[in-house]
Structure 1
Amino acid sequence: MKTKVNGVKIAYDIHGIGVPVVLLHAFPLNRTMWEPQIEELSKDFQLITPDLRGFGESEGTNEPYLMELFAEDVYGLINSLGLEKVVLGGLSMGGYIAFAFYRKYPEKVQALILADTRAEADTEEGKKNRKALADQVIGEGTKVIAEQLAPKLLGKTTRENNRALLEKIKDIIRSNSMAAIANASLGMALRPDSNPILEKIQCPTLILVGEEDELTPVALAENMKQKIRNAELVVIPKAGHLSNIEQPQAFNRAVKKFLKNL
């Protein structure tokens, strides 16, 4: 399905009925990354999975995709669906967008799911790397980026034992537009530190992290758990940065348990 919000057509899927759960995908993937969650979670909840601006089947614009811009798109989608409150979940960049959304629209959030993400802004070195990635994808294309990034997104266990999944992640990255990857990379470099809002988060919060996540390690998840008043932390064994895809059963089990207790 597609709907026009905030000046662009946003593609999204809806599965199931019940409490609405909006899941925001990671960089540089798209909504297909949530396929391992759809069948299980849509039995009890309404799962809404958008392609973020420029990614997948959603229209793009020629500007840095600030996390606040993505959040405004998500707000527009939620309103277009007539939803008063949602459970908002995001993995990696999706988590950065969830923070931006909560900063601006806390009244719309029934609960938060923060997976394999961090509250900290990029370091100066991190910002330079984001800019370099943006330049590289425009200069060399998505195939090169897919080869570089896909192994870093997965944990050691997956890299060694699930070659098919590694290739699938490469395929998803290659399917996205060069411009979207560049614009989102620039936008992430500009995101603020979200640590100041952690203690202001009032809603129930589930923090998930892969035990083998090298990009947003367990220590960063523990930091969020300490600062968010009503948070629980689940570490997913044998998973890296894409814990929902690498260990979907454990991920789904933790999410279902959390949602059923709301």
Structure 2
Amino acid sequence: MPILEIDGSSLYYTVKGKGIPIIFIHPPVLTSTNFTYQSEELSRYFQVITFDIRGHGRSSFSSQPVTYPLIVEDIKKIMGYLDIKQAFLCGYSAGASIVLEFLLSTSSELALGGIIISGMSEVSDWRERNRIRIAKTLVKFGALPALARSISKSNSDTEELFETMLLEAKKGNASNILQYYNYCLNYNCTEQLEKIDKPISLIYGEMDKPFSPYAQLLQKKLNQNEITFVKDMKHQVPTKAANELNKLIYQFIQNHSFKWGE
């Protein structure tokens, strides 16, 4: 099992395939298994890197609070360890906010571009804020297994994937997951988005109505972006619209990889 030791924490990661690197970032509770279909398909063309954020899945408990800047630093250390000079960053849901944080950091030169799947630059609507507060309450009062089951179920398209996602999600550390949720709830980089000078692919489910305003906000604020709404799809694009998503990621990278290897 590939493990990278960072500041007293053990970070689980996987590397599959060769070529232009893509690093995938998952939301709270879920793990790198959320990108199973991307790892399987896209590794035929690219180097696909997935990892479990501290306190999630097979990564160990973090004595440092889990924040977006900490996760950005962990991604940089993974890149350094694997001798990756530049990579595309792909984040799903709250994981997409970490892509934005990375692109706004002093290490933005390490990114070739970003792929935002069902993501946001802030949590401003009451429905999403309430959903996060409910999740926090469940974690706080010892109901992480129930939350893991619910989230794994909604993000799986087969019984086999559900069982795998649930098994990994239940390994998470409650305090670290709570920290991730807390940071997500309070994060807001909307007014800084115009500083991002990398190409961005925005991908949302056509039926993901709660996230439609976030899609429109990012499209308006980001200088270089292209947006796609996946037909007949809600929020869970990586698993439930994997074929369409993989095609979109493949095409985006083919269109914007001319600087790789320079």
Q: Name the TM-score class by shorter chain.
A: 0.7 to 0.9
Is the CA contact 2:219–2:225 (under 8 Å) kept in the aligned structure 1?
yes
Q: 1:58 Cα shift?
A: 0.8
In the alignment of these two chains, the number of paired residues is 253
Q: In the superposition, relative to structure 1, how do residues 170 and 210 fare at CA in structure 2: closer, same or farther (>3 Å)?
A: farther
Instruction: From 207, 211, 223, give the equivalent of 2:206.
Output: 211
Q: Which amino acid aligns with 2:186?
A: L
Q: 1:183 Cα shift?
A: 2.3
Is the CA contact 1:62–1:183 (under 8 Å) kept in the aligned structure 2?
no
Q: In the superposition, relative to structure 1, how do residues 243 and 124 fare at CA in structure 2: closer, same or farther (>3 Å)?
A: closer
TM-score by length of 2: 0.85
User: What secondary structure is seen at the aligned counterpart in 2 of 1:140?
Assistant: coil
Q: How does 1:26-175 map to 2 (within 5 A)?
A: 26-62=27-63, 64-104=65-105, 105-122=107-124, 130=132, 133-149=135-151, 164=159, 167-168=162-163, 170-175=166-171
User: What secondary structure is seen at the aligned counterpart in 2 of 1:199?
Assistant: helix
Q: How does 1:164-203 map to 2 (within 5 A)?
A: 164=159, 167-168=162-163, 170-191=166-187, 193-203=188-198
RMSD over aligned CA atoms reads 2.5
Q: 1:123 Cα shift?
A: 6.2
Is the CA contact 2:58–2:171 (under 8 Å) kept in the aligned structure 1?
no
Q: Which amino acid aligns with 1:230?
A: Q
Q: How far apart, CA to CA, are the structure 1 residues paired with 2:129 and 2:68? A: 15
Q: Greater shift after overlay, 226-235 or 168-177?
A: 168-177
Q: 1:37 Cα shift?
A: 0.8
User: What secondary structure is seen at the aligned counterpart in 1 of 2:58?
Assistant: coil
For structure 1, the residue ranges without an aligned partner over 5 or more in a row are: none
2:200 is the counterpart of 1:244: no
Q: 1:117 Cα shift?
A: 0.6
Is the CA contact 1:22–1:47 (under 8 Å) kept in the aligned structure 2?
yes
Q: Which amino acid aligns with 1:200?
A: K
Q: Which amino acid aligns with 2:231?
A: P
Q: How far apart, CA to CA, are the structure 2 residues paired with 1:166 and 1:46? A: 22
For structure 2, the residue ranges without an aligned partner over 5 or more in a row are: 257-262
